[in-house]
Structure 1
Amino acid sequence: MMTRRSALNLAAIAATTLLAALPAQAADTAPVARHVILLIGDGMNIEHEIAASQYLSGKPFSLSFHQLPYQGVQATWDVTTYERHGGRYDPQAIVPTLGYDPAKGGLLPYPLGPELDGARAYHLGAATDSASSATTWATGYKTDDGNISWLSGDPDRGGNRRDDGSLKTIAERLREARGFAIGVVSTVPFTHATPAAFVAHDKSRKHYTAIGSEILQRTRPDVVIGGGHPGTSGRPDFGFIAETDYADLKSGRYAADTVFVERQAGTDGAQALQAAARRAAAEGKKLVGLYGKKQGGLFDWPEPQHRPGAPRIERATTENPSYAEATLAALQVLARNPRGFFLMAEQGDIDWANHNNDYRHMVSTVASLHDGVKAVVDFVDRPGDDISWDNTLLIITADHSNSYMRIGKALGAGELPEQRSDDCNLTRCYPGGEVSYGSGGHSNELTRIYARGQGTELLKAQEGSWYPGTRIVDNTQLFHVMMQAAGVPVEPALKPVPVAAP
């Protein structure tokens, strides 16, 4: 068996060869990104990326984001994980290895680096949730499982926003400091953890309707597109949006400054959303798009087909837009602001598929993220406007890993393993052994970061600052990279204590 020290030495070599480094920008050039775009594959690890890539092309690293010039790795732990590992969390004296220990988990996620002895038990012992992880990107603070841009410990005083325990988000900061337009997109309810952390504040991610009311009535982003529709038939489900908020959107209470579009039976969701985005952009209005399944919740998942040599993913319904279509609609509205914009767009269904150990829907939802990234790159590349890579920062990452999936046998393009259910409960659904699962929950594995554009050199500068001798970036550092790239640097609120290089 490989020892931790020898494995770390091999992984250190792999880190220098598998992860491309960017050339340093001249020290006297301050990056100014007027467009900051953060795309999230919720619950996605590198094995999921490889599986989707194999299905689409027969190759392991052919997704759109695999082609971006910056590629790195990220630690995702939160305060709950830190304390379960035996630490007493003090934001002014953080011991990073109590959150993620490279000697136990590796310098790189498997299979980019070796799987260390005992790594599985370590990774599955404690891991962040989406709310606390998104809070790190949104605010630069670590917090507890379930918190939405709120201080650890759920205090009623403190923080940096209203002295009530809440934390100011990057969307709020960039709107105040730079006049940015702000938007959130998700394929899960817009009141769920990841989108909520950027435009709301709460001690519990489960307060869906209160979070929705804060977003729609107080934060009022320029764009909100997501799931959580109460339903197009039968008894409405108001679990994700308050009935009064939905009634106000339907009645036109916000019509003076908002275009509202929703899922409707028999209506093409992409066409309706695109028309609404054109109108909002032309009239200088906000855009709210509310979609989901026929009875609330998520977007309907794309359906991959087993077609060896000829991959094909079909739409489950045309009543919802795709992730790419929703993201492009948001960009169309946000781009009208000459001062700039911030967009967070989440492919949240990856996480749900992984909780079910559902390989085929994991493949189709990661492929959906691939399509969305390609659409965003094409949007920035299009001629005739002032949006370019000189003034745009694009980051793609995952908030945490999920399911501890491992590929047993590489499949070719268009191939799917025999799968006996969409709710698989570890390996019982996969008799061929092509894939195995270690969990139906989150893990503490490193996730990948991909980036392009103005400010990517800032990511390179953060590598190893919490973990000397590695290229690991802490997730709170993405907040500071985005803020600095936009020309609004923020003094870090967290202070790690020095740790020895491996």
Structure 2
Amino acid sequence: MQFKSLFALLSISYVLSSCISVNVKDNKVSSNFSETKKPKNIILLIGDGMGLSQVSAAIYYKNGKPNFERFTTIGLSKTSSSSDLVTDSAAGATVFSAGVKTYNGAIGVDNDTIPVETIVEKLSKEGFATGIISTSSIVHATPASFYAHVKRRSYYEEIATFAPNSGVDFFAGGGIKFFEKRKDGRNLLNEMKEKGYSVFTENLPTKPSLGKEIILMAEDGMPKMSEGRGNFLTDATKLALEKLSKNENGFFLMVEGSQIDWGGHANDADYLIEELLDFDKTIGAALDFAEENGETLVLVTADHETGGFTLAADGSDYNKLKSTFSTPGHSGTMVPVFARGPGENYFNGIYENTAIYHKMKMLLDK
């Protein structure tokens, strides 16, 4: 009896160990993190205000297959801040950049307004190349949370003062007035040049500069897609990837589709959907790069959902969709997390939004 029991136990152990080794090889499940293939680079795309209904809009309104459908790993993120059940973009982005729950309005600081090192700052010190792209101004809540530390998101001019010494290799978005037309008289674009940045305010360059660069294409936020913004978000992302991928140590790039949120706040379905489809196109560019590169993890998520957006049947006509909103503000619903590339298996499941930072940090730790 003892021999039979021992044999059975050894047989089970062998089967389990065989299953684990196969799963590690397939990069699906790992019993030991050190055995999982790690990415060299991470592209984090944030669809501000993008919930599941917003993602669904890409399925119904895009001509062709949306890039969201190219992902095979999908999780859900809980979005509450430390101060409120419903987060704002500042606290919602600070969890991605610094890994801490904080109060609504906080930019790169904790509950006690103490600055917390961001993933961009950490990686820059370790020799990674870093980039920040947004269709808002680069001092707006989401991009600001990756390089600045202020008590209130509305301190735009103070946020801008962090840019020259941020270590960020590539900035692209709007916000010229916060750098040039300031109450204190400082010209931060000149200061950026003194720090080795190439400055562009007229056109998006076709080739990356040799050194750091800042591209500001609007006085404040970028124009809407309906106002002729064109392919800025996709082209800026491609330009950043061409530049940052030259760094042998790896890179981290954050790309924000800011105005999905603005369409939600306005309860304007056409605005929201146009911005969402532009964001989906940019996701496609990131995935194309990652598939060719082979060492890049692409993550797509949101800080929160905006508008209580719903795609409902139009009355009794179940073949016609009607876009509706339940609020001009944010909602507390969970948001999706899409992952593709080395380490993607760590983004399955339901978890707090802070986990996204800690998973990224764990994967990039050398």
TM-score norm. by structure 2 comes to 0.85
- Number of matched pairs: 334
How much is the aligned-residue C-alpha RMSD, in angstroms? 2.4
CA distance in 2, matches of 1:149, 1:24: 33
Matches within 5 A, 1:93-108: none
CA distance in 2, matches of 1:454, 1:152: 33
CA 1:301–1:53: 2 relative to 1, 3 Å: farther
CA 1:436–1:454: 2 relative to 1, 3 Å: same
Aligned sequence identity (%): 28
CA distance in 1, matches of 2:115, 2:189: 28
Show CA shifts across 1:402-445 (max 9, x none): 110111237xxxxxxxxxxxxxxxxxxxxx98122110001110
Q: What amino acid is aligned across from residue 244 of structure 1 in structure 2?
A: R
Q: Counterpart of 2:302?
A: 398
Matches within 5 A, 1:412-431: none
- In the TM superposition, what is the alpha-carbon distance from 1:30 to its structure 2 partner? 4.0
Matches within 5 A, 1:266-305: 269=203, 272-275=204-207, 277=208, 280=209, 283=210, 285-292=211-218, 296-303=219-226
| Contact preservation (8 Å) 1:213, 1:245 | no
Q: Counterpart of 1:444?
A: 332
Show CA shifts across 1:298-350 (max 9, x none): 222123xxxxxxxxxxxx336x7521111111112111111111111101011
CA distance in 1, matches of 2:159, 2:177: 16
Q: Counterpart of 1:474?
A: 352
| Contact preservation (8 Å) 2:121, 2:167 | no
Specify which of 30, 52, 58 is matched with residue 52 of structure 1.
Answer: 58
| Contact preservation (8 Å) 1:298, 1:349 | no
Q: Counterpart of 1:149?
A: 108
Q: Counterpart of 2:363?
A: 485
CA 1:409–1:273: 2 relative to 1, 3 Å: farther
| Contact preservation (8 Å) 1:74, 1:473 | yes
Q: Counterpart of 2:49?
A: 43
CA distance in 1, matches of 2:272, 2:343: 31
CA 1:242–1:328: 2 relative to 1, 3 Å: farther
Show CA shifts across 1:172-201 (max 9, x none): 112223x10111110000001111111111
| Contact preservation (8 Å) 2:38, 2:363 | yes
- In the TM superposition, what is the alpha-carbon distance from 1:52 to its structure 2 partner? 2.9
Show CA shifts across 1:33-74 (max 9, x none): 21111000000111111123211148xxx4202221111111
CA 1:439–1:145: 2 relative to 1, 3 Å: same
CA distance in 2, matches of 1:145, 1:230: 25
Matches within 5 A, 1:114-129: 126-129=85-88
CA distance in 2, matches of 1:76, 1:372: 24
- In the TM superposition, what is the alpha-carbon distance from 1:393 to its structure 2 partner? 1.2
CA 1:242–1:70: 2 relative to 1, 3 Å: farther
Specify which of 287, 292, 297 is matched with residue 377 of structure 1.
Answer: 287
CA 1:376–1:137: 2 relative to 1, 3 Å: same
| Contact preservation (8 Å) 2:180, 2:186 | no
Say yes or no: does 1:331 pair with 2:241.
yes
Specify which of 23, 26, 29 is matched with residue 24 of structure 1.
Answer: 29
Deviates more, 1:23-32 or 1:38-47: 23-32
Say yes or no: does 1:258 pair with 2:197.
yes
Show CA shifts across 1:55-98 (max 9, x none): 1148xxx42022211111110110111xxxxxxxxxxxxxxxxx
- In the TM superposition, what is the alpha-carbon distance from 1:210 to its structure 2 partner? 1.0
Is there any run of 5+ residues in structure 1 with no aligned partner, and where?
Answer: 1-21, 82-125, 155-164, 264-268, 304-315, 411-431, 461-470, 489-502
Q: What amino acid is aligned across from residue 131 of structure 1 in structure 2?
A: A
CA distance in 1, matches of 2:285, 2:139: 25
Q: What amino acid is aligned across from residue 398 of structure 1 in structure 2?
A: A
CA distance in 1, matches of 2:281, 2:265: 22
- In the TM superposition, what is the alpha-carbon distance from 1:29 to its structure 2 partner? 0.8
Say yes or no: does 1:229 pair with 2:176.
yes
| Contact preservation (8 Å) 1:31, 1:487 | no
Provide the secondary structure at the position in 2 that maps to 1:39: strand
CA distance in 1, matches of 2:153, 2:195: 30
| Contact preservation (8 Å) 1:66, 1:450 | no
| Contact preservation (8 Å) 1:181, 1:334 | yes
Q: Counterpart of 1:467?
A: none
Is there any run of 5+ residues in structure 2 with no aligned partner, and where?
Answer: 1-26, 315-319
Specify which of 438, 448, 453 is matched with residue 341 of structure 2.
Answer: 453
Matches within 5 A, 1:355-374: 355-374=265-284
Specify which of 158, 162, 171 is matched with residue 210 of structure 1.
Answer: 158
Specify which of 312, 324, 327 is matched with residue 408 of structure 1.
Answer: 312
Q: Counterpart of 2:167?
A: 220
CA distance in 1, matches of 2:237, 2:252: 12
CA 1:481–1:260: 2 relative to 1, 3 Å: same
| Contact preservation (8 Å) 2:290, 2:341 | no
Q: Counterpart of 1:88?
A: none
Provide the secondary structure at the position in 2 that maps to 1:127: coil
Say yes or no: does 1:135 pair with 2:45.
no
Provide the secondary structure at the position in 2 that maps to 1:218: coil
CA 1:33–1:433: 2 relative to 1, 3 Å: closer
| Contact preservation (8 Å) 2:290, 2:297 | no
CA 1:484–1:377: 2 relative to 1, 3 Å: same
TM-score norm. by structure 1 comes to 0.63
Provide the secondary structure at the position in 1 that maps to 2:176: coil
Provide the secondary structure at the position in 2 that maps to 1:209: helix
Q: What amino acid is aligned across from residue 197 of structure 1 in structure 2?
A: S
Provide the secondary structure at the position in 2 that maps to 1:393: strand
